[in-house]
Homo-oligomer: A and B are copies of this chain.
């Protein structure tokens, strides 16, 4: 975990105190359930709830001897609770505590990620509506294609994050299960009602069949979902980086007063936040492969997944959480330059209406292939003329091409160059996206 890419709320979930706190709650809830069932004395559960405490340094000390973290934890709590602590953890195994705790942590992490995703969506929606009708050139392959609006660009990203929100809800659903099933998961020494009780109190559902551990396909699916969200952040960040390029400069990350862009070059204003987001996306995605490699544990369980999860559990959730808030902030504060968009839109002298002309020609009886060639030869001439090109460069050429004018009257041709028709469906698309 890289501290500079971390928000305190998410970091807190992964701190030792949080983890041991959840362990203690699991053990205590399990005792309460067992006491209710008569398996252990009620006094033991009451005592554990009342006196149960742990000491992180003491746990570390004990673990150095016994080489087992849960035993170290139980011993530390026992030192506070006294003899009644022998009724703790009855019929349970470490994985019951560890895996259920991980489920609680990942569920809490999911809640933060969901909130982060909703912030991204809110920022995109606000700016999309603001720029719903701001014309800008659409680009395929980095090359001017046809006009679109800046709001429509953002609406596309909004729709992606709406899908990501669903994926995060699904991811939370995947991992929010509880297993208190004892050694190799047979409930041989523990009543399934204990599991049901603990699950309910923790907001989880019982794992239908655990094999001492909660199966790791759940976690693989969880981290895969995070990887997809990270990829969506990369797509949005890449868009901003492109728009901020010197030659394009249609939008720009907010540059704070006092900020310096380069130690060497005082003129620089770089899209460092979005570049950073691209890097963070790579980091978050790097959790996906090891999470999938974790699935095939041996027989009822091995512990190879554990070190992986100690890494990717905090890292992927903390960095994705940070990235979501960073990307939201970038969008909220994004400086948009409609005048530059307009200037760029005019750059190719009307080439962006080439399709319109071709379609008009086919409607006028020209075959698709001939229409294509007719328009292409005029378009390429404009393409190869040096900038600045007059905004009428293409129509001027077409007007001078007898093969074109033989088929299209002046008014029809002019109609092909009315940009308004490119924006005619924006309302309809917005309705599809934002309802």
Looking at A48-56, A69-77, A108-116, A407-415, the stretch in contact with chain B turns out to be: A69-77
A402 at the interface (CB under 8 A from B): no
Shortest 5 CB-CB contacts between residues of A and residues of B: A138-B184, A279-B307, A267-B379, A141-B270, A231-B295
Q: B residues within 8 A CB of A75?
A: 369
User: Known interface pairs A142-B242, A247-B344. Does A303 touch B268 (Cβ–Cβ under 8 Å)?
Assistant: no
A47 at the interface (CB under 8 A from B): no
CB of A183 within 8 A of CB of B145, answer yes
CB of A355 within 8 A of CB of B231, answer no
23 A-B pairs, CB-CB below 8 angstroms? A66-B258, A86-B362, A86-B365, A94-B262, A140-B262, A143-B244, A148-B186, A156-B209, A188-B422, A189-B356, A220-B231, A224-B227, A231-B293, A231-B295, A231-B296, A235-B295, A247-B247, A265-B355, A266-B358, A266-B372, A269-B380, A272-B303, A286-B287
Q: B residues within 8 A CB of A307?
A: 2, 5, 276, 279-280, 283
Q: B residues within 8 A CB of A279?
A: 294, 303-308
A424 at the interface (CB under 8 A from B): yes
Q: Which residue of B lies closest to A235 (CB)?
A: B296
How would residues 400 to 435 of chain A score, 1 for a CB under 8 Å from any chain B CB and 0 otherwise? 000000000000000000000111111011001100
CB of B247 within 8 A of CB of A183, answer no
Q: B residues within 8 A CB of A379?
A: 266-267
Q: How far is the CB of A405 from chain B (nearest CB, A)?
A: 17
Q: B residues within 8 A CB of A122?
A: none
Question: Contact residue range for chain A?
Answer: 35 or more
How would residues 42 to 72 of chain A score, 1 for a CB under 8 Å from any chain B CB and 0 otherwise? 0000000000000000000000011110110
User: Which of B1, B143, B282, B371 contacts A270 (CB under 8 A)?
Assistant: B143
Q: B residues within 8 A CB of A347?
A: 246-247
Q: How far is the CB of A314 from chain B (nearest CB, A)?
A: 9
Q: B residues within 8 A CB of A142?
A: 241-242, 244-246, 270-271, 298-299, 302
